[in-house]
Structure 1
Amino acid sequence: MIIDIIGDIHGYADKLIGLLTQLGYQHNGQCFMPPKGHRALFIGDLIDRGPQQIKTLDIVFAMLDADVADAVMGNHEYNALAFATLDPEHAENYLREHNETHTRQHEAFLAEVPFGSERHHYWLKRFCEIPLWLETDSACFVHACWDVDSMAILKPLLTRDNCLTPQALTLTSKKHTPMFDALERVLKGVETPLPKGIVMVDKEGTTRSRVRVRWWLDDLDNRPIREIARAPHSAIAQIPLDTKAEPIDFTLKTDKPIFVGHYWLTGTPTPLSTQVVCTDYSAAVDSGYLTCYQLDTECPLPLSPNNFVQYRHT
């Protein structure tokens, strides 16, 4: 079987339709049906940013309901759930604060799905059906990082299919807890703190004291942060050249290929390493392209740049 692993869509349904059509999927009046021997897998971040939120969700969930596709949860679906859920310990607060930054990040979705509406409740319920990760005999699929230690912390809180429960959502929203840190690893990646007094400003203008690292590299420790950081060049340039990372507690504990989204890559698609592929090539901006990696489950390795397909919208 060929699994078509599709990157972060972020509400750009026209790009999704273009990519599915390019891959040979055909709409049968109810959903896009794959070519014989194919199945789609959506790597998360279906929502936010783009102008076609509902249209995107309708396409994806019609395929999920027809059992011709799978999906894993992205941090934006998780954020939507936390943004809409009151904290049981502090009933006046939501699990995800309704501050200016969070509201701006979520505004495209709420423009089409008004907060508290029947439609809003429906889609939140559907998001809860998406597992945090999937593992098959041939590969591993997760939005940001395949960290089995973090998954072991989360597993007792989840359903048998690795979906969020109300308890899991509440506990993973509490900062400075093992559950919060585990969820952050799986859906947002591995981070390292910047040295005291050093901060960087990201592409959205948010000041950050931590930076994501390229966890798929060998030997992360004792290297300059600039060598291992995964951030825009403009942000990395704010870090002094000789600044080294603190010891990073991460080890990749699988021999299977791993597929992620999340990282806003650019340029010609290529595997991140001999074992890791990212299919997020910044489709949420005009200069980026919705991207797919076609995995042959009979021969998953070696990973090859020839397996990428991009929808080159005009």
Structure 2
Amino acid sequence: MIIDIIGDIHGYADKLTGLLEQLGYVHNGQYFMPPDGHRALFIGDLIDRGSQQLATLEMVFAMLDADVADAVMGNHEYNALAFATLDPGHNNSHPQRYLRSHNDVHTRQHEAFLAEIPFGSETHQYWLKRFYELPLWLETEYACFVHACWDVDSMAVLKPLLTATHCLTTHALEITAQKHTLPFEALERVLKGVETALPEGLVMVDKDGTERSQVRVRWWLDELNTRPIHQIARAPSSGLAQIPKDAMAENIDFALKTHKPVFVGHYWLTGNPEPLSIQVICTDYSAAVDSGYLTCYQLNTSASLPLNAANFVQYQHD
């Protein structure tokens, strides 16, 4: 079996159509049928940013319903649920308070989705229910699949809150959305990655204009706690320029505790696709911008290792 692992789509249905057709999938009037011996797997972040939100969701979920594909939840699907869910701890607040605040940054991140699927509409409620069907991670005998980071310690914290198939419930959403708690930090690890604190007093401004006192790190590298932040940070060059070259990473509590290959999205990579390490593949090559490409890694389940750059397929939309 070949698993076609497809990176973050972000509402670009035309790019998804192009990639599926390039991979040999054929639309039968209801969904895209894979070639013999193939199955698709979507690595999360189906929504936000692009102008074809509804079309993207309809394409992906038609394949899920036909049992020719699998998918895991991305942080954008999680954020959509939290953005639409009232915080039960503030039922009497005015204005109403949601699990994810409706500030300018969060609203701007979500505006493409809500432009097509109006907040509170029947269509909105339908797709929120469908998002709950997406597991936070999948593990098979041959590989591990998660949106941002395969952290078994964080998963152990989350498992008691989830369904048997590692899906959120409304209660789990409420619990994991409470900042400065262990479930919140565990959810952040799985869907957003590993971070380390910047030197005291230093902040970075991310691509959405948010000031951050922590920086995301490339957790797939070895010896994270013995390297300068510059060597392990996953941040734009403009952000790295604000960090002293001699600032060291400290207290990063992470180890990759599996011998299987791990597949993620999330990281907005550029350039020619290649494995991040001997064990980790990212299929997010910035499809949500004109200079990026929707990307797939074709995994042979009978020989999942070694990972090979030749297994990548990109849809060259330009």
TM-score, normalising length: structure 1: 0.99
For 1:235 and 1:23, the matched residues in 2 are separated by: 36
- Greater shift in the superposed pair: 54-63 or 235-244: 235-244
SS in 1 for 2:154: helix
**Displacement of 1:233:** 1.4
**Corresponding residue number in structure 1 for 2:133:** 129
Quote the Cα distance in structure 1 between the aligned partners of 2:137 and 2:27. 27
Residue of structure 1 equivalent to 2:47:
47
Deviations 1:41-96 (A, max 9, x none): 00000000000000000000000000000000000000000000001111231000
The residue that corresponds to 1:33 in the other structure is 33
Shift of 1:197: 1.0
Distance 2:24 2:226 in 1: 47
Structure 2, unaligned runs of 5 or more: none
Tell me the percent identity. Answer: 77
1:72 corresponding residue in structure 2: 72
Paired residue for 1:160? 164
For the 8 Å contact 1:95–1:173, the answer to whether it is kept is: yes
Aligned to 1:86: 86
256-265 vs 236-245, which moves further: 236-245
Distance in 1 between the 2:72 and 2:208 partners? 25
CA shift, 1:204, in A, is: 2.0
Alignment of 1:1-314 (within 5 A): 1-91=1-91, 92-314=96-318
User: CA offsets, 1:94-119, max 9 Å, x none?
Assistant: 00000000000000000000000000
Equivalent residue letter for 2:86: L
Give me the whole-angstrom Cα distance separating, in 2, the residues matched to 1:7 and 1:183: 20
Give me the whole-angstrom Cα distance separating, in 1, the residues matched to 2:134 and 2:237.
Answer: 33
**Count of matched residue positions in the alignment of Structure 1 and Structure 2:** 314
Question: Which residue identity is paired with 2:53?
Answer: Q
- Range with greater deviation from structure 2 (54-63 or 203-212): 203-212
Q: Which SS does the other structure have where 2:226 is aligned?
A: coil
SS in 2 for 1:62: helix
Give the residue type in structure 2 aligned to 1:23. Answer: L
Please state whether the residue corresponding to 1:294 is helix, strand or coil.
Answer: strand
Q: CA RMSD in A?
A: 0.5
> CA–CA distance in 1 between the matches of 2:148 and 2:255?
15
What residue identity is the alignment partner of 1:74? G
CA contact (8 A) 2:44 2:72 kept: yes
CA distance in 1, matches of 2:298, 2:43: 13
Query: 1:212–1:231: 8 Å Cα contact kept in structure 2?
Result: yes
Question: Quick check: 1:11–1:50 contact (8 Å CA) kept in 2?
Answer: yes
Q: Distance in 1 between matches of 2:247 and 2:156?
A: 32
What is the rounded CA distance, in whole Å, between the counterparts of 1:232 and 1:168 in structure 2? 33
Which of structure 1's runs of 4+ aligned residues deviate more than 4 A?
Answer: none
Q: SS at the partner of 1:217?
A: coil
What is the distance in 1 between the residues matched to 2:259 and 2:36?
A: 28
Alignment partners' CA distance in 1, 2:169 and 2:208: 31
Aligned partners of 1:31 and 1:62 also within 8 Å: yes
CA deviation profile, 1:219-250 (whole Å, cap 9, x unmatched): 00031100000111111111111111112000
- The residue matched to 1:126 in structure 2 has which SS? helix
Greater Cα offset, 10-19 or 199-208:
199-208
Contact 2:105 2:209 in 1 (8 A): no
> Partners of 2:252 and 2:13 in 1: how far apart?
38
Structure 1 unaligned segments of length 5 or more: list them: none
CA contact (8 A) 1:222 1:247 kept: no
